[in-house]
Structure 1
Amino acid sequence: MMEQLQEGYVASVAATAGCTMEAVNKDYWGADVQLIRPPRTALEEECMVFAQLKSTTLTLPSAGKEYFSYQFSKRKYFDHMVKPRKHQKAILIVMTVSPRQADWTEVSHDGLVTRRSCYWAYLEGLKVDPDVQKPTVRIPTRNLLDAHSLTRILDKIDRGESLHE
């Protein structure tokens, strides 16, 4: 159920940013979805980024802290995020959710509110001891995933700039 909630969140953010979210049906590359921004004209190229989606009930990020920790359940998921990529870049998107499923959303006449948020991290090039089977990474709390941040990510990719802050 957490996966469905996160997919809905990311799809909503993508739509607001003028992008599509396409599911990756085979997990060969450690990516769950592709976020794709269409080209501005027929002669230009679309811009896209892979995203690995993870959810956790173990943390409640605080805006007063610079980061929170996320531990991968398997080394291979981490390895897919840190490997150097020439073309298609990849980000990790972590959603923090309440352990109580009934608290995930709230509906009123004003709309649907999703409780808690998604955060993104760019991990390419990160090194961790090869013996660590469940690596832990820091997710910056300033990296809230919203339409503005997704647009900024895709703009940097489009210009060939690094996603490292």
Structure 2
Amino acid sequence: MITLQHTEECLSLAFVHALAGRAGVSLASQRVHDYGIDGTFRSVKIIGKRRVETGYAVDFQMKATTTWEHKGPNVVYDLEVKNYNDMVQRDSEATPCILILLCLPTDQHQWIVADEDRLVLQRCCYWMQLEGDPSSNSYTQRIFIPRKNALTPQAIVSIMANEQKRRVGI
């Protein structure tokens, strides 16, 4: 049996795959080496009778956790400092990178419901592009993700449209 952490990773990847498919974007999620990027969304357009990737991309780092909480309009999570610093120190001209956080129930038996009528992954993914100065904390950096940043197919479409606008200077 795989570890609980690996199960969390599998669920977060399944969640993001489903959302990306519904959003109509290409998703690359298997890297040969782990350097802090878990996947990339890529926009797709139709040229003639073919679909091709546009060249507009957004990278993401994925986390899944049961140690999160709602505080008013935010999701509060303690992200490892190394991950936080990797994300805030990216070159501003580089492909943007968002954090995707799958907030799972504390009871692992509630994470997923599957029967012949439905497949339900419990709770929600939230997203945020981290900005700011590197943290000097020893282990974690507390982050506040607006709950309005629920990762949905429409949110992915919007994220990709914003990246295209950023790149072409609109």
Q: TM-score, normalised by structure 2?
A: 0.82
Higher helix share: 2
Residue matched to 2:136: 130
Residue matched to 1:105: 112
Structure 2, gaps ≥5 residues long: 1-6
Select the structure of larger CA radius of gyration: 2
Distance across 2 between alignment mates of 1:93 and 1:50: 10
Runs of 4+ in 1 over 3 A off after TM superposition: none
Q: For 1:77, what is the secondary structure of its paired residue?
A: helix
Identity of aligned residues (%): 25
**Superposed displacement of residue 117, structure 1:** 0.6
Structure 1, gaps ≥5 residues long: none
Aligned with residue 38 of structure 1, among 30, 44, 63? 44
Residue matched to 1:143: 149
**Superposed displacement of residue 39, structure 1:** 3.2
Q: Which structure 2 residues correspond to residues 41-80 of structure 1 after superposition, within 5 A?
A: 41=47, 45-61=54-70, 65-73=72-80, 75-80=81-86
Distance 1:103 1:49, change over 3 A: same
Total equivalences in the alignment: 156
RMSD value, Cα: 2.1
1:117/1:144 contact within 8 Å kept: yes
Aligned with residue 9 of structure 1, among 15, 27, 35? 15
Q: TM-score, normalised by structure 1?
A: 0.84
Higher strand share: 2
Q: For 1:119, what is the secondary structure of its paired residue?
A: strand
